[in-house]
Structure 1
Amino acid sequence: MRSASGAKPSRGRADPAHEPMLATMELIGQRWMLRVLWELEPGCLGFLELRRRMGNCSSSMLSTRLQHLQIAGLITKNPDKTYELTAAGTELGAAMQSVWEWSRRWSETVTTPEHDAE
Structure 2
Amino acid sequence: MVSKAINQPVCGSDSGRPIMVLLDALGQRWTLRILWELTPGPLSFRDLRERCDQLSPTVLNSRLKLLREMELVELVEGAGYRLTIPGQELGAKLLDLHHWAEHWAKD
What TM-score do the two structures reach when normalised by structure 2?
0.81
Q: Which has the higher contact order (CA 8 A, sep 6+)?
A: 2
C-alpha spacing 1:16/1:104, structure 2 compared with 1 (3 Å) = farther
Q: Which runs of 5+ in 1 are unaligned?
A: 1-12, 110-118
CA offsets 1:20-78 (integer angstroms, 9 cap, x no match): 11111111111111110111111111000111111042111111111110001000011
Paired with 1:80 and 1:68, the residues of 2 have a C-alpha distance of 21
Letter in structure 2 aligned against 1:26: D
C-alpha spacing 1:14/1:52, structure 2 compared with 1 (3 Å) = closer
RMSD: 1.6
Q: Which runs of 5+ in 2 are unaligned?
A: 1-11
Match of 1:100 among 62, 76, 98: 98
Letter in structure 2 aligned against 1:66: L
Letter in structure 2 aligned against 1:14: S
Letter in structure 2 aligned against 1:32: W
> 1:102 offset after TM fit, Å?
1.2
Aligned length: 96
Paired with 1:54 and 1:90, the residues of 2 have a C-alpha distance of 19
Q: Give matches, 1:33-44, under 5 Å.
A: 33-44=31-42
Paired with 2:76 and 2:15, the residues of 1 have a C-alpha distance of 30
> 1:16 offset after TM fit, Å?
5.1
What TM-score do the two structures reach when normalised by structure 1?
0.74
